[in-house]
Amino acid sequence: MNVALQNLSNSMSDYKRATFHDEDVPEPTGEGATSPDTVEVGFRKGRGHILGALGGRSQPEVLLGALSAVLGVLLLGSLIALGVQQMTDRSRSLCLSEACVSVAGRILDSLDRGIDPCQDFYQYSCGGWMRRNPLPDGRSRWNTFNSIWDQNQAILKHILENATFNSSSEAEMKTQRFYLSCLKEQRIEELRQKPLTDLIEKIGGWNISGNWRGENFMSVLKTVSGTYRATPFFSVFVSADSKSSNSNIIQVDQSGLFLPSRDYYLNKTANGKVLDAYLQYMVSVGELLGGSPGSVDMQMTQILEFETLLANLTVPQDERRDEEKIYNRMTISELQSLAPAFDWMDYLTFALSPLDLNDTEPVVVYGKEYLQQVSELVNNTDPMLLNNYLVWNLVQKMSSSLDSRFEKAQDKLLESLYGAKKSCTPRWQTCLSNTDDTLGFALGSLFVKSTFDKNSKNIAEQMISEIRDAFELTLGGLTWMDEKTRRAAKEKADAIYDMIGFPDFILDTKELDEVYDGFEVSEDAFFQNMLNFYNFSAKLMAEQLRKPPNREQWSMTPQTVNAYYLPNKNEIVFPAGILQAPFYAPTHPKALNFGGIGVVMGHELTHAFDDQGREYDEDGNLRPWWQNSSLEAFKNRTECMVNQYNSYTVNGERVNGRQTLGENIADNGGLKAAYHAYKSWLVKHGEEKQLPGVGLTNNQLFFVGFAQSAQRLQFDSDLKKLLEHSENRELGYVVLEGKVQAVNEALKSHFKPHLQAVIQRYQVTEHRLLWNSLTRSWSESKQVIHEQVDAIPFQLSPLEGSGDSVLISKPLNATGLCLETVHEEFHIPSPGFGEVFRHYLSGEKPTGLLETEEILPVGAVLTGIGRLELDPQGMLTLHLPQDGSVYFLSLDGYEAVLDQQESIAGFWKKAAIFCGVLGLSFLFITLYRAYRRYNNNHKTEESWSGEDHREEHSLIEETESPERTCVVCISQPRECVILPCGHVCCCFLCYQALPTPSCPMCRGYINRVVPLYQV
């Protein structure tokens, strides 16, 4: 530094020396003026520039500029204030509670914003939900009801499997014992078919298993139907008399078919697969119970043919909707005359034991012609076939309580019926469903105590009242209804009795225990528990006959996710199970509650006035209370609705508008009543706050809530039928799994001719060593010198059973297709001396040739993901997706493919987060360094400007020793600056004293100075 100062001193001999005292500071001649002997310093405060800019302006210009600036500031402030006010008003109109934010997120997840709601409102409302909720294993359909029921089951599972579970209620303890007995699969597997074969032996044997003891038709019928509640030929039950609702009566109706509808038996062309699967199931069960294969096949075929005859006699449901026509009251004596093939007195006395009956006991028959024809069929049928049919009814009822072989036997039938297998359902869910069927109210007690908010009862009752009022208001506007009928309809609506949540007795330990008194349950005998329950329920039914109907009696358990209207009691019931989101929540906006549970309430209330409910009066009696003119007008309007729904198709099946008329009336009427009730609520309480981020008005939210409460997925196992009724005959993105099958002659492996393939890749790869002159080492290199790929058309056939095959389009363009290596051989060369010398000179040394053959073998299980299309020739083809999604073929299973893709997605997600954090860190460091640089510059500017600095410098100059003075100005240096030319001025005062802004060393122009350091 001393050398630098000396050199600078020698080179600055002409530099003017000056001291920085107050008296030497020139007086300014005006604002912004400088002395001719000084140079303006580049480190200037900001306001100096502004003043300098105004220095040449006239006073009016300055005033005008100032006024403009003030007006601009005022305008900007007004705009900001207005924006803040609008944001405040908007925030005040939004519901920002935790519940509202949560439900807004759920609604947004369910929406498909890419769909125009005016074109496809359901897809707009539920498209997101359908994408995010694939069908669970073992389910052919999935909807909101199923989702809530799964949640309810999970709650009950946690309660029943709790090791510390204990209750003062014996009924609740029975519930746990029953559930655990069903879960003990090892015990059930050990018993195999023995519990059922013992039962068959007890009732007289079965010719199919080879131990029938002869004709005993009525004895077997009484045991199968009366004791164990199977329903061959007909069903018998005790319920309120439809024409005298204050008394119970014996009722008989048509029954006896195992398949869900008579149409399965009669329409063999459309349902051939189902009938084949049903017969296969029957034969499998017969063989499991000890029957010989040939004999079982023949006898089960006879039973199926007999059921088909019964189906032909069965009256279709759409012809049974007028209950006035099918209601037939008679005595047991008259019933005996109607259907003499059955000993009715003997049967009913046994089934309703220990009651005393006589031949004048009244009975209501709902299938008069059916029973008459069935009696004739029984009289003309071989006794052995009748016995086989009766026992088969018991077998199919009880086989589900046996080991897993019987469940697997039923899988193919369920798959043909619904497209799903029972074996895919977890055992605990099956056991909970069984527990709900047997001890439902004891289970409901546990559920209600655990989850139900009792305040929901009051809120729900208030909503029902509002919907009832809206419905009655609608009645007043029906111009086609006469005044007398309208008054009666209003009286009926007012008389509808509503039950919410649960019956009170389930929370009373004593009453609950009395209900299930007599039902014995063992933790180690599931099959026997089921038998005990059927026997117990038969006794309960008998006890009801001599008692008046109990209006407080529920026909649905509290945990059930459903609701119902009972016409002969004129009551609507809403269990606790359905009073949950998305149907209802106390914290939801009213728009959602009315669009959810409100529509359900309106639906059930409207059932009181549909084509069947309208026949019952306010007391639940079946009687004609409509005036003829109104009845005729009602029928004309319902006929219009029948025709409307007849024009619809669902999954390729045309809707039966007459059979679904009651539900269609309730759906339309319920939605209308709920919406009017919501509008009335708004009139009373004012507009409610909107949900944040959804972008829907509350009126729109009502209908979106309604649609989202009806979200539904359904799978049709017949792919062609499904695609025939899909838009453009295609499905945008599907996952298929099947066996590879060549369309024509398969390819044969070059090296293993016994292997057949649909894709074959033959490849020769040269391996060589390359000399790297930089690293002075050899590195390995590979190059494909020959490749041949052959592919033939192939398809995926179903893994099990029959079904449609799917042609695979352009498999070589698919991602993830890893072929199976069937041949791999490495050929090592033997080079001569000349080749070795050439390799040395060229720096390339071949090490060998790798010969490989890879194939996609016939019979391999392949997972395909892409666009499924049905072409005009009826061929199913898997194509590349048109939306740019991945076209995937893999020998791995779907779960493995899914795991792999999720792993890749997870990696990129983590990489994105890492890069984001890294970028933010870099931005922070850059901003921090810029801030420090600015801060240092600002401090330097302040230290080099102002009178205080000059005074301090002058004081230092006077007090400091001469050894540390500037060699130019003989003063104490406090700063050092660098000039643009690169030279250094060791004293800022020296720089200021320059007569011209030029470097004293090189005469370079000085346009700015940079501080080098400060002492």
Phi, psi of 328 (to 5 degrees): -135, 110
Q: Give pLDDT, residue 839.
A: 72
Out of 41-55, 508-522, 535-549, which region has the weakest mean confidence (pLDDT)?
41-55
Phi, psi of 889 (to 5 degrees): -130, 130
As a whole number of angstroms, the distance between CA 122 and CA 143 comes to 14
Q: Give pLDDT, residue 54.
A: 39
Residue type, 287: E
CB atoms within 10 A of CB 357: 17
As a whole number of angstroms, the distance between CA 327 and CA 62 comes to 102
Nearest to 366 by CA among 321, 307, 421: 321
Helix (H, G, I), strand (E, B), or coil: what is residue 542? helix
Highest mean pLDDT among 3-12, 129-138, 905-914: 905-914
Q: Is the preceding omega at residue 503 within 30 degrees of 0, hence cis? A: no
Opening angle at CA 302, ends 300 and 304, nearest 5 = 70
As a whole number of angstroms, the distance between CA 823 and CA 479 comes to 84
8-state DSSP, 622: B
Q: Give pLDDT, residue 714.
A: 64
Which pLDDT tens digit goes with each residue over 599-613?
Answer: 999 999 999 999 999
Catalytic residue list contains 604? yes
Same structural domain for residues 836 and 746? yes
Question: Element (H or E) spanning 963, and its range?
Answer: none
Sequence-distant (≥ 6) Cβ neighbours of residue 475 within 8 angstroms: 481, 486, 489, 490, 493
Same structural domain for residues 912 and 950? no
**Strands annotated E in 455-503:** 497-501
CB contact at 8 A, 424 and 138 = yes
Looking at the domain assignment, is residue 532 inside a domain? no
Question: Element (H or E) spanning 777, and its range?
Answer: strand 777-791
| Tokens 């299930």, located at residue | 516
Looking at the domain assignment, is residue 142 inside a domain? yes
Phi, psi of 276 (to 5 degrees): -65, -45
Residue type, 114: G
As a whole number of angstroms, the distance between CA 792 and CA 806 comes to 14
Looking at the domain assignment, is residue 92 inside a domain? no
Strand partners, 239: 249
Burial level of 334, CB count in 10 A (0-12/13-18/19+)?
middle
CB contact at 8 A, 806 and 879 = no
Residue type, 314: T
As a whole number of angstroms, the distance between CA 976 and CA 598 comes to 83
- What is the pTM (predicted TM-score) of this model? 0.68
Opening angle at CA 991, ends 989 and 997, nearest 5 = 145
Same structural domain for residues 706 and 830? no
Nearest to 603 by CA among 568, 564, 642: 564
As a whole number of angstroms, the distance between CA 243 and CA 624 comes to 11
Which pLDDT tens digit goes with each residue over 552-601?
Answer: 999 999 999 999 999 999 999 999 999 998 899 988 999 999 999 999 99
Q: Is the preceding omega at residue 354 within 30 degrees of 0, hence cis? A: yes
Q: Give pLDDT, residue 127.
A: 85
Same structural domain for residues 886 and 904? no
8-state DSSP, 354: T
Q: Looking at residues 216-226, what average pLDDT do you find?
A: 93
Q: Looking at residues 96-100, what average pLDDT do you find?
A: 87
164 or 625, greater pLDDT? 625
46 or 869, greater pLDDT? 869
As a whole number of angstroms, the distance between CA 269 and CA 526 comes to 40
Looking at the domain assignment, is residue 560 inside a domain? yes
Looking at the domain assignment, is residue 85 inside a domain? no
Q: Is 733 left (phi over 0), alpha (psi -120 to 50) or beta?
A: beta
Looking at the domain assignment, is residue 456 inside a domain? yes
Instruction: Categorize the per-residue pLDDT at 43 as very low, low, confident or very high, splitting at 50, 70 and 90.
Output: very low
Same structural domain for residues 496 and 629? yes
Same structural domain for residues 916 and 952? no
Strand partners, 363: 250, 330
Last residue in a domain, options 400, 430, 460? 430
Q: Looking at residues 652-674, what average pLDDT do you find?
A: 90
Same structural domain for residues 321 and 396? yes
As a whole number of angstroms, the distance between CA 569 and CA 618 comes to 9
* Rg value, the chain, Cα: 45
CB contact at 8 A, 251 and 272 = no
Q: Give pLDDT, residue 781.
A: 83
Q: Looking at residues 616-631, what average pLDDT do you find?
A: 95
Helix (H, G, I), strand (E, B), or coil: what is residue 198? helix
890 or 462, greater pLDDT? 462
Q: Which two tokens stand for residue 16?
A: 């003017």
Q: Which two tokens stand for residue 824?
A: 């791999």
Same structural domain for residues 147 and 250? no
Burial level of 595, CB count in 10 A (0-12/13-18/19+)?
buried
Length of the chain: 1015
CB contact at 8 A, 743 and 807 = yes
Q: Which of 287, 604, 853, 975 is catalytic?
A: 604
Which pLDDT tens digit goes with each residue over 287-321?
Answer: 999 988 889 999 999 999 999 999 999 999 889 98
Opening angle at CA 327, ends 437 and 365, nearest 5 = 65
- Check which CATH number belongs to the domain holding 399 and give it: 1.10.1380.10
As for how many domains the chain has, the answer is 5
Sequence-distant (≥ 6) Cβ neighbours of residue 427 within 8 angstroms: 182, 183, 185
Same structural domain for residues 148 and 247? no
CB atoms within 10 A of CB 99: 14
Q: Give pLDDT, residue 134.
A: 72
Q: Answer whether residue 1012 shows pLDDT above 90.
A: no
Out of 40-49, 216-225, 308-317, which region has the weakest mean confidence (pLDDT)?
40-49
Q: Which two tokens stand for residue 962?
A: 């001469």
Out of 227-236, 321-330, 980-989, which region has the weakest mean confidence (pLDDT)?
980-989
Percent of residues, the chain, with pLDDT higher than 90: 49
Query: To the nearest 5 percent, what fractions of the chain are helix, strand and coil?
Result: 50, 15, 35
Question: Element (H or E) spanning 575, and its range?
Answer: strand 571-575
Instruction: Categorize the per-residue pLDDT at 14 as very low, low, confident or very high, splitting at 50, 70 and 90.
Output: very low
Out of 78-92, 689-703, 745-759, which region has the weakest mean confidence (pLDDT)?
78-92
Count Cα neighbours of 532 within 13 Å in the Cβ-side half-sphere: 16
Instruction: Categorize the per-residue pLDDT at 995 as very low, low, confident or very high, splitting at 50, 70 and 90.
Output: confident
Which pLDDT tens digit goes with each residue over 525-564?
Answer: 999 999 999 999 999 999 999 999 998 999 999 999 999 9
Instruction: Categorize the per-residue pLDDT at 78 as very low, low, confident or very high, splitting at 50, 70 and 90.
Output: low
DSSP one-letter string for 7-73: HHHHHTTTSPP----GGGSPPPSSTT---TTS---S---HHHHHHHHHTTS-HHHHHHHHHHHHHHH
CB contact at 8 A, 984 and 4 = yes
Highest mean pLDDT among 51-55, 637-641, 830-834, 907-911: 637-641
Q: Give pLDDT, residue 29.
A: 38
Phi, psi of 113 (to 5 degrees): -70, -15
DSSP one-letter string for 274-312: HHHHHHHHHHHHHHHTT--HHHHHHHHHHHHHHHHHHHH
Q: Is 264 left (phi over 0), alpha (psi -120 to 50) or beta?
A: alpha
Q: Give pLDDT, residue 448.
A: 94
Range of the domain at 666: 104-180+450-519+550-714
Last residue in a domain, options 681, 714, 747? 714
Q: Give pLDDT, residue 28.
A: 38
DSSP one-letter string for 873-934: TS-EEEE--TTS---EEESS-HHHHHHHHHHHHHHHHHHHHHHHHHHHHHHHHHHHHHHHHH
DSSP one-letter string for 593-613: HIIIIIHHHHHHHHHTTSTTG
C-alpha distance across the termini of the chain, in Å: 14
Which pLDDT tens digit goes with each residue over 876-922?
Answer: 888 888 777 788 888 877 667 777 777 787 888 888 888 888 888 88
Which pLDDT tens digit goes with each residue over 350-370?
Answer: 999 999 999 999 999 998 999
What 1001-1006 contacts at long range (C-beta under 8 Å, 24+ apart), as own/partner pairs, is 1001/8, 1001/11, 1001/12, 1004/979, 1004/980, 1005/980, 1006/39, 1006/979, 1006/980
Q: Answer whether residue 455 shows pLDDT above 90.
A: no
Same structural domain for residues 921 and 980? no
Q: Answer whether residue 47 shows pLDDT above 50.
A: no
Looking at the domain assignment, is residue 539 inside a domain? no
Same structural domain for residues 174 and 281? no
Q: Which of 170, 667, 941, 960 is catalytic?
A: 667
Sequence-distant (≥ 6) Cβ neighbours of residue 53 within 8 angstroms: none
Please provide the average confidence, as pLDDT, over all residues in the chain.
83
Phi, psi of 648 (to 5 degrees): -95, 150
Helix (H, G, I), strand (E, B), or coil: what is residue 855? strand
Q: Answer whether residue 265 shows pLDDT above 90.
A: yes
Same structural domain for residues 418 and 292? yes
Count Cα neighbours of 47 within 13 Å in the Cβ-side half-sphere: 2
CB atoms within 10 A of CB 636: 10
As a whole number of angstroms, the distance between CA 309 and CA 679 comes to 54
Question: Element (H or E) spanning 482, and its range?
Answer: none
Looking at the domain assignment, is residue 845 inside a domain? yes
Which pLDDT tens digit goes with each residue over 428-437?
Answer: 999 999 999 9
- Check which CATH number belongs to the domain holding 115 and give it: 3.40.390.10
Count Cα neighbours of 2 within 13 Å in the Cβ-side half-sphere: 2
CB contact at 8 A, 101 and 109 = no
